[in-house]
Structure formats: structure tokens, C-alpha cells
């Protein structure tokens, strides 16, 4: 890992790999959460399996936490090094003609998304860890759907989630393609397909999470 992150190319490659891992996780996370729309039993069963399966809890969960921390830390490191590499701005520069606003401000959207992740973990992950490992309460199969439903009773929280997911969509719109490009997936034949997949991914994934938040708010 030290060798992989010792150069700019290595850091970009490592960050891209962590991004692809997180892209896969978002699909899985959305799939489970969508079950809450179709019925409490389906969501409760899936959540109980995810919450008490040793492989998921003690192997996959630490890997996920590491991937999130690594991805954001590496993003900030790359941004700082890029700024240091360009200490003096060009006298004539029109960035809007050469790149999109999001590609130039990934660090801003990333910081907002990171703040949202802390809120999301406070709402769900810390509550879950306290329930199982601090209070040591017994398994209650029916609690998961009720906990999720109750979190979206307040309009301010729903609005905050919606704004965060819109920013996530903008972040994904550039990050999806950039991740595959960083690992060398560039080809006249395949790049348009990757770009199209990235576009739909950056729309459908955030839209799915927004739909879930709105659904639980209007069905209180």
C-alpha cells in the first residue's frame, strides 16, 4: 500500500480502486433500503441478516469503513498536492471551457458528502452499535423498519438528505468516469459506454435514495 501511494499515479490508481468499491457498495445499499418501500418484513429480514452476519459485520464492514476513509483522505491529499504543483495561476485561464464545474470542485462536493456520511452514521450506524454492543439488547427482528421510518419524520432531515444526494449525484457524474479512466479503462469503443453508464448511475442511485426518504416522510 505504501508503494502504491508513494507517487501521484499510484495515489490516483488507489483512489480509483476505492471509488469502484464504493460504487458497488452503493448499489447494494440502495437495494436493501428499497425493500423498506415494499414492506416492513422484507426490510427487517434483510437488515437482520446484514446486521448479525459475522462475515458482514467483522470483515466487510471494517473494509467498507477503511475504503470510505481512504477514499476521502486520498482525495484531499491529491487536491493539496495539485494546488502545490500550481502555486501561480495562469494569467489567462478559462476553466469553464476546458472542464465542468464539478470536475474542478470535486473536493467541495466530497467535503459535503463526508459531512453527510457522519450524519448518516450518527443516525443509523452509531445507533446500531450502541444497541448491540453497548446496551447489549436482544435481537428484535421488527425494529429495523420502524427505526428507518422514524428517521424521516422531520422535514428538515429529509431536505438535508435530498440536498446531499443531489451533490452525491453530481460527484458521481464525474467520479464514475474518472475512476475507470484512472485504472486505464480508456478505449474509443468502451469509453462512450462507460460515460453512458456513469450518467445513468449518477442519476438513478441518488434518485433511489431520495425516493426512499420522501416515501417514508409522506407515509408517516
- pLDDT surpassing 60 at residue 3: no
Q: Which of the listed ranges 18-32, 65-79, 102-116, 124-138 does the model predict with the highest average pLDDT?
A: 18-32
- pLDDT surpassing 70 at residue 72: yes
Q: How confident is the model over 92-110, as a mean pLDDT?
A: 67
Please, which pLDDT band fits residue 167 given cuts at 50, 70 and 90? very high
Distance CA 179, CA 163 (A): 24
Task: Give the CB-side neighbour count of residue 2, counting CA atoms within 13 A.
Answer: 0
- pLDDT surpassing 80 at residue 87: no
Confidence (pLDDT) at 107: 80
Distance CA 26, CA 205 (A): 7
How does pLDDT run across 37-50, given as a tens digit for each residue? 999 999 999 999 99
How does pLDDT run across 169-212, given as a tens digit for each residue? 999 988 898 899 888 877 788 889 999 999 999 999 999 999 99
- What are the grid coordinates assigned to 185, written together? 479503462
Distance CA 124, CA 40 (A): 17
- pLDDT surpassing 60 at residue 143: yes
Please, which pLDDT band fits residue 137 given cuts at 50, 70 and 90? confident
CA distances in angstroms from 93 to 18, 19, 98, 107, 201, listed in the order given: 32, 30, 9, 20, 32
Question: How many other CB atoms are found less than 10 A from the CB of residue 209?
Answer: 21
Task: Give the CB-side neighbour count of residue 69, counting CA atoms within 13 A.
Answer: 6
Amino acid at each position: 500500500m505504501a508503494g502504491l501511494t508513494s507517487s501521484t499515479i499510484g495515489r490516483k490508481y488507489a483512489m480509483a480502486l476505492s471509488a469502484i468499491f464504493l460504487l458497488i457498495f452503493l448499489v447494494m445499499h440502495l437495494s436493501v433500503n428499497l425493500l423498506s418501500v415494499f414492506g416492513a418484513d422484507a426490510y427487517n429480514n434483510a437488515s437482520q441478516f446484514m446486521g448479525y452476519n459475522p462475515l458482514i459485520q467483522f470483515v466487510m464492514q471494517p473494509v467498507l469503513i477503511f475504503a470510505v476513509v481512504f477514499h476521502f483522505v486520498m482525495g484531499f491529499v491529491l487536491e493539496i498536492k495539485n494546488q502545490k504543483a500550481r502555486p501561480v495561476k495562469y494569467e489567462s485561464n478559462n476553466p469553464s471551457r476546458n472542464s465542468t464545474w464539478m470536475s474542478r470542485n470535486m473536493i467541495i462536493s466530497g467535503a459535503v458528502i463526508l459531512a453527510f456520511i457522519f450524519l448518516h452514521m450518527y443516525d443509523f450506524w452509531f445507533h446500531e452499535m450502541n444497541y448491540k454492543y453497548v446496551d447489549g439488547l436482544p435481537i428484535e427482528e421488527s425494529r429495523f423498519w420502524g427505526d428507518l421510518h422514524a428517521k424521516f419524520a422531520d422535514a428538515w432531515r429529509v431536505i438535508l438528505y435530498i440536498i446531499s444526494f443531489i451533490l452525491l449525484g453530481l460527484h458521481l457524474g464525474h467520479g464514475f468516469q474518472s475512476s475507470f479512466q484512472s485504472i486505464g479503462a480508456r478505449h474509443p469503443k468502451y469509453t462512450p459506454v462507460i460515460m453512458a453508464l456513469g450518467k445513468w448511475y449518477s442519476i438513478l442511485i441518488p434518485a433511489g435514495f431520495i425516493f426512499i426518504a420522501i416515501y417514508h416522510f409522506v407515509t408517516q
